[in-house]
Amino acid sequence: MSASANQRSRKALACTQRATAFQREFGKELRRRVVEDREPYAIVQADTPHELFHAMDIPIITNQWWSAYISAKQLSTRYFDAMVAKGYPANSCKYCSLGLACTLADEPETAPWGGLPKPTVMVARLTCDCIQQVFGQWSQALGSEFFPMEAPAWTDKDPQWFANSRSEWERVYQPDRIQHMVREMADLIALLENRTGRTFDEAKFHHLMEQINVQEGYIWEAAQAIGDARPCPVSIAEQMPNTMIPQWHRGSDWAVAHAKEFRDEVMGLIASGHGASSNEKLRLMWIGAGVWHDPGFYQALEETLGAVFVWSMYMPFAGPAYIRDLKDKPMEALASRIASMNETLHLPPWMNSWMVSEAQRCGIDAAVVLLPPDNRLSQSGTKATTASLRAAGVPVLMIDADMVDAKVWDHDRMVGMVDSFLREEGLA
């Protein structure tokens, strides 16, 4: 890891601090419920139906959030090394396996929360070949039960999915895929009711789905405004936490209120002409997961080159991925959301079509694509997207780096690569 890694990012919004403070408190509360009170809880992938757990008030630890938590404590290298020492090859996929590595390392003295207790269930959607291995072994190591979910083939491909996802979701996401996921969710609910003694309240779930529409509507409204605004009022370093933290708590009163506060603050900054950079000259797009161990990376070239990362997938994804006209079919609407999250971000034609559309909407000058060397899922679709963006006139830099493994990330070198790329393209 570079000595310059883990640079802090600058914050312009008051709500960013409120979001991170809420998440800190939530982390403590989650720890209390899971570790001290030993409530039934679940470890789940990000692209699984969290809404079911929220509706049943069952605490969840999202694998990606837990990975980021471990990574932020600078422990990723230690645990990945421990996994290699246990006989796993060093090139195993990093993004989804840090939690497993932490469990296998079995170091209560270093592990966050002293390590995780046995969850009631672990849930993952099988979007790649290795996730069933990771969750299967992790659940064995924790003495838990693995509930895998299928990622059915998607043969009805609408490149304009993002324009039709809200109202035509039955067609866009393919009826048989939706139906299959509804069947799986019914099985999952039955399992949760059986294991926890809690009941699934359909009315509460319906209300939650309505609230999520409201919440994501605020985020989407702010995303539209940021795309139109010159200069960009908020860097992606602030877009991400204000989108993602409420999304971990989607549909809750706090999440809806926070999304509204965020929208209002963004609108206020736009009205006052505030820019994330004082001399915005270039608008950049970040394609890939967040580099959680070095958030300052995104703002490193704002003042020197006026290069502002105005776009990452998290915030604009709120609209097409989350908002659904419920049509009195909330479970089907949820299935359409879950059955497509990963595919639309990692497979053509959905990924490339959406990102070209977003680049045009946001006036993007250049894009930077993360290409993690040991993660097929995160790599997936990046070259097709690069080709589509270039065909649309957007220069693209692809960088080989891992968003979790700090060992292969060097802040200065990465910033230097972007700097050189922009100069070589004649943009800076």
Partner 1 sequence: MIAIAGPNLPHQLLHAAGRHGGALPLTPDRDCPRAGQWLESKFQPWAPRVLEHWLDGDYDHFDAVMFSRADDSSQRLYYYLCEMQRAGQVGGPEPLVFDVAKIPRQSSLVHVAEKLRALADQLSVDESALEAAIRQGNAASDTSAPVGTGPTCLVTGSPMPDARLLEAVEQGGFVPVGQTLEQSWLATAPVEEGTGDPVAALARALHEQDSGPRSFAEPSGRLRRQIAESAARAVIVWHIEEDEVRTWQLPSLRAVLQQSGLPHLVLSRRDWLAGDGAAIEIAAFLEGVSA
Taking CB under 8 A as the rule, does residue 397 contact partner 1?
A: no
Taking CB under 8 A as the rule, does residue 349 contact partner 1?
A: yes
CA 324, 329, 332: angle at the middle one, nearest 5?
A: 75
Residues in CB range of 235: below 8 A, 6 or more apart: 9, 10, 12, 276, 277, 298, 299, 302, 308, 309, 310
- 352 token code pair: 């490339």
Taking CB under 8 A as the rule, does residue 191 contact partner 1?
A: no
Element (H, E) at 283: strand 282-287
Q: Using CB under 8 A, pick the residue from 243, 299, 352, 357 that binds partner 1.
A: 352
Query: 139 or 299: whose CB is closer to partner 1?
Result: 139
Using the rule CB under 8 A, give the single segment among 46-54, 109-117, 355-363, 381-389 that binds partner 1. 381-389
Taking CB under 8 A as the rule, does residue 176 contact partner 1?
A: yes
Query: 7 or 133: whose CB is closer to partner 1?
Result: 133
- In angstroms, what CA-CA distances link 299 with 157, 234, 276, 291? 36, 11, 9, 12
Cβ 35 vs Cβ 59: under 8 Å: no
Q: How far is the CB of 11 from partner 1 (least distance, A)?
A: 34
Residues 52-91, mask of contacts with partner 1 (x by CB under 8 A): ----------------------------------xxxx-x
Using the rule CB under 8 A, give the single segment among 121-129, 215-223, 230-238, 333-341 that binds partner 1. 121-129
Residue 289 CA to residue 275 CA, distance in Å, equals 24
Q: Which stretches does DSSP call E strand in 330-383?
A: 366-370
Q: Using CB under 8 A, pick the residue from 259, 379, 403, 414 that binds partner 1.
A: 379
Residues in CB range of 379: below 8 A, 6 or more apart: 371, 372
- 107 token code pair: 């170091």
Q: Using CB under 8 A, pick the residue from 128, 172, 364, 394 that binds partner 1.
A: 128
Tell me which residues touch partner 1 (CB under 8 A): 86-89, 91-93, 126, 128-130, 132-134, 137, 148-150, 152-153, 155, 157, 159, 176, 180, 183-184, 187, 347-349, 352, 371, 373-376, 379-380, 382-384, 387
